């Protein structure tokens, strides 16, 4: 679907990497539709890493532009950013979607002159388990105290800032941590809005096991283990 004249004035390009995630992708793109109608989102770019399901068709039928890529989330995000045309970039995972009242908050951030800062959302998992709430609090602390949000919280920043820090690296894992470390803790704002993310991986592996694995991967990354090796460990 080509952009309308109104779309061409909208400030935000949304970039979504996907790999065999049609079911979750549909919900994410549906959550973005009101922002397109209200003139916030100029374009949605879905970068497909070689899906064998209906991800491309799901994206096209919902008006997104589809770019084909080799797999690797860092590579996909980098390609999507290179193709984006708006002055603000909003990176989303295919299984993460902003809550319905996100539009006003993001519009205000983009209009308030914060093009030297980045913003992320509060993590919310689609699970009623007490462990999910504990994890959400831990993520909020990690974001505020350490400046280490993950990609499932979304990332909103200006094209100017994105280019200034070098953008996403061509990495199979830890691309989110790599970028936010270059942005710097003092330039990352935690918005008072939630990003609802699938808890499927945590339910499947068990919260304790998955959290322990994530922390181990993070520690190994800081110890200098290459992301290619970490991706094999992550599974």
Domain boundaries defined on the chain: 7-203
- Classified as helix, coil or strand, 117 is coil
| Alpha-carbon gap, residue 25 to 16, rounded angstroms | 9
Task: Say what the pLDDT of residue 3 is.
Answer: 47
The closest alpha carbon to 62, from 84, 94, 101, belongs to 94
Per-residue pLDDT of the chain (235 residues; tens, 9 = 90+): 444 444 668 999 999 999 999 999 999 999 999 999 999 999 999 999 999 999 999 999 999 999 999 999 999 999 999 999 999 999 999 999 999 899 999 999 999 888 999 999 999 999 999 999 999 999 999 999 999 999 999 999 999 999 999 999 999 899 999 999 999 999 999 999 999 999 998 988 899 998 898 899 999 999 999 998 888 877 6
- Burial class of 123 by CB neighbour count within 10 A (0 to 12, 13 to 18, 19+): buried
DSSP state of 41: E
DSSP state of 225: -
Task: Say what the pLDDT of residue 7 is.
Answer: 63
C-alpha of 134 from chain center: 21
CATH topology (fold) of 7-203: Spore Coat Polysaccharide Biosynthesis Protein SpsA; Chain A (3.90.550)
- Burial class of 221 by CB neighbour count within 10 A (0 to 12, 13 to 18, 19+): middle
| Alpha-carbon gap, residue 229 to 226, rounded angstroms | 6
DSSP state of 21: -
| Alpha-carbon gap, residue 154 to 119, rounded angstroms | 8
| Alpha-carbon gap, residue 228 to 235, rounded angstroms | 11
* Model confidence, pTM: 0.93
Would you state the structure tokens that stand for residue 72, as one six-digit string?
């690797």
């Amino acid at each position: 679907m080509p952009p309308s004249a109104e779309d061409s004035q909208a400030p935000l390009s949304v970039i979504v990497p996907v790999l065999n995630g049609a079911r979750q992708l549909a919900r994410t793109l549906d959550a973005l539709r009101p922002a397109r109608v209200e003139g916030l989102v100029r374009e949605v770019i879905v970068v497909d890493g070689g899906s064998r399901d209906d991800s491309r068709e799901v994206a096209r039928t919902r008006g997104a532009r589809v770019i084909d890529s080799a797999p690797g989330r860092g590579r996909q995000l980098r390609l999507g950013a290179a193709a984006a045309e708006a002055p603000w970039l909003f990176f989303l995972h295919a299984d993460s979607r902003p809550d319905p009242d996100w539009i006003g908050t993001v519009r205000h951030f983009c209009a308030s002159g914060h093009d030297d800062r980045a913003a992320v959302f509060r993590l919310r998992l689609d699970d009623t388990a007490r462990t999910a709430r504990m994890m959400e609090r831990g993520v909020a602390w990690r974001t505020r105290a350490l400046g280490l949000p993950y990609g499932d919280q979304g990332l909103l920043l200006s094209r100017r800032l994105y280019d200034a820090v070098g953008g996403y690296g061509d990495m199979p894992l830890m691309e989110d941590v790599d970028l936010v470390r270059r942005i710097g803790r003092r330039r990352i704002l935690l918005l008072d809005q939630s990003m609802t993310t699938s808890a499927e991986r945590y339910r499947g592996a068990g919260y304790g096991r998955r959290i322990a694995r994530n922390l181990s991967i993070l520690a190994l990354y800081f110890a200098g283990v290459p992301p290619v090796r970490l991706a094999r460990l992550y599974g």
